């Protein structure tokens, strides 16, 4: 299809995938699906010095967990593969040398010492931006200053070189970004970027432009940090003769720290106590030391809640709706509603989304989380009971782990009691009612929430006491706390014997409030 929308997410396998990268992948995915197109996962591994083993698998697993499944990738291939740049290495030199031949790029033989000396000279001359450009190239060792014979001799001798793009001295470069509108940059502020490194690998600039062209990418949706490079890429498309098929660009706003002061980093997450990666992992840091980090999956976030939360960091649907399934996100998503300003990260909002999604899940699904925890605790529980328990608790929890934390009394009798409730509610009157209630429960063959309540009402009527005066005392005896889900449902799940036992223990252990 000639006009098929094709987008790509192109991470580098240098470590874990930051949630900012996940959001970029998500926006690409939503845009592709909204327009009946395809999303490509391309691994940009040309920087072999920063390559980290296992990072590629981490990226793919993270995307899968979020429900982002590329149509083409290194794992399922497609007609425009291969999808790892290291496997496409041979094709990039062809385009770089074509640019050299046409006078749009050049060989540069400068050593690192010579480059350092050039920068130092410029600093001493108080040049604001010391760089290799249309002015400084005239004093350097490259094919614009050397004779053709000298260049051939150096190449024949195997002398190390890079290929640099020859940036025009005076040219205005225009880019109509789909998020930011017209971006105008003068070529004088762009340096002669390296296109091919001395190791024969392309830089990001050349490789991504060549690959986007060959893979027929129609829209480049990427982070704001790439906006300064966009004019350079526009020049490359022009120099390579691909200006008419150049993709449209959309540069996404940054994910900011909760206070809005700068880009969200791993350090911020560590400091403030929340993950900035989708999955747990362990990768080497810049010094090569293995560093562990936490992920949203392991922290108890549901994938659809995480994805919904992330989608609204920088994009809004134009309505009051906040909860979106993936299909609803696809239907509602447009690039036009992406903001220009950075989006503040709010972990409390993430928790809210998780809570909403837990409340919406079937009890049968949620019970699996509780049963997994119980198995680790060596506690046997029938699935039907687990389903009832999560049904009682789901309105009150933020994470699946909360089912055990907030429902431990279903399996273990309380060993401590909320002191405030003991002081205020554990009266001689309460002890009398609970004692009578325990006696009445012995005569009930089938305890349900209905029979539990009707039996309690009988005891209360007999003693002419309102139900509100006794409920917290009863809850305290059974759970150790003064608040929780529907008490009669708790009684029904505990059963006669356990309820009676807990009432008797509480009466024996707790001090009775003395009359004032």
Active site residues per annotation: 266
Can you read off the two tokens belonging to residue 172? 């205005």
Query: Rounded distance, CA 493 to CA 193, Å?
Result: 70
- Helix/strand/coil for 238: helix
CB atoms within 10 A of CB 47: 16
Instruction: Supply the angle between the helices 428-441 and 496-509 in degrees, to the nearest 10.
Output: 160
Query: Rounded distance, CA 65 to CA 296, Å?
Result: 10
Task: Say if CB 438 and CB 401 are below 8 A apart.
Answer: no
Task: Say if CB 37 and CB 274 are below 8 A apart.
Answer: no
Helix count (H) and strand count (E) of the chain? 20, 13
- Least Cα distance to 23 among 399, 333, 352, 357 occurs for 333
Q: Which residue reads 């497609």 in tokens?
A: 78
Task: Say if CB 276 and CB 297 are below 8 A apart.
Answer: no
- Helix/strand/coil for 47: coil
Phi (first) and psi of residue 156, to 5 degrees = -65, -30
């Amino acid at each position: 299809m000639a006009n098929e929308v094709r987008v790509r997410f192109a991470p580098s396998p240098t470590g874990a995938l930051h949630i900012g990268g996940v959001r970029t992948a998500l926006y690409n995915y939503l845009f592709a699906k909204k327009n009946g197109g395809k999303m490509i996962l391309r691994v940009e591994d040309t920087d072999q010095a920063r390559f980290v083993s296992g990072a590629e698998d981490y990226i793919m697993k993270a995307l899968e967990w979020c429900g982002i499944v590329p149509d083409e990738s290194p794992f399922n291939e497609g007609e425009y593969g291969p999808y790892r740049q290291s496997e496409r290495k041979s094709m990039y030199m062809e385009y770089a040398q074509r640019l050299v031949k046409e006078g749009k790029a050049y060989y540069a033989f400068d050593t690192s010492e010579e480059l350092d000396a050039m920068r130092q000279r410029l600093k001493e001359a108080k040049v604001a931006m010391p760089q290799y450009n249309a002015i400084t190239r005239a004093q350097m060792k490259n094919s614009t200053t050397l004779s053709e014979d000298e260049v051939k001799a150096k190449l024949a001798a195997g002398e190390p070189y890079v290929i640099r793009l020859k940036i025009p001295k005076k040219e205005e470069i225009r880019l109509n970004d789909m998020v930011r509108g017209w971006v105008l940059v003068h070529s004088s502020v762009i340096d002669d970027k390296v296109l091919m490194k001395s190791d024969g690998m392309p830089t990001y600039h050349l490789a991504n432009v060549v690959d986007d062209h060959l893979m027929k990418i129609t829209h480049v949706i990427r982070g704001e940090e790439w906006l300064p490079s966009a004019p350079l890429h526009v020049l490359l498309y022009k120099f390579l003769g691909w200006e008419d098929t150049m993709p449209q660009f959309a540069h996404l706003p940054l994910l900011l720290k909760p206070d809005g002061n700068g880009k969200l980093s791993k350090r911020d997450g560590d400091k403030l106590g929340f993950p900035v990666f989708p999955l747990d992992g362990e990768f080497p840091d810049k010094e090569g030391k293995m560093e562990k980090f936490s992920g949203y999956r392991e922290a108890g976030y549901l994938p659809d809640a995480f994805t919904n939360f992330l989608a609204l960091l920088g994009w809004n649907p134009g309505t009051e709706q906040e909860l979106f399934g993936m299909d609803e996100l696809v239907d509602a998503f447009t690039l036009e509603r992406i903001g220009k300003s950075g989006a503040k990260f709010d972990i409390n909002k993430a928790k809210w989304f998780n809570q909403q999604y837990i409340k919406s899940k079937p009890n049968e699904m949620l019970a699996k989380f509780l049963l997994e925890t119980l198995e680790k605790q060596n506690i046997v529980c029938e699935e039907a009971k687990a389903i009832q328990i999560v049904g009682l608790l789901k309105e009150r929890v933020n994470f699946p782990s909360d089912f055990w934390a907030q429902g431990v009394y279903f399996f273990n009798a309380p060993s401590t009691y909320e002191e405030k409730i003991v002081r205020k509610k554990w009266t001689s009157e309460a002890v009398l009612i609970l004692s009578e209630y325990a006696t009445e429960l012995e005569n009930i063959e089938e305890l349900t929430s209905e029979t539990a309540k009707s039996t309690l009402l009988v005891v209360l009527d007999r003693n002419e006491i309102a139900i509100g005066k006794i409920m917290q005392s009863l809850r305290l005896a059974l759970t150790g706390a003064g608040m929780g889900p529907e008490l009669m449902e708790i009684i029904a799940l505990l059963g006669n014997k356990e309820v009676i036992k807990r009432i008797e223990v509480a009466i024996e252990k707790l001090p009775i409030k003395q009359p004032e």
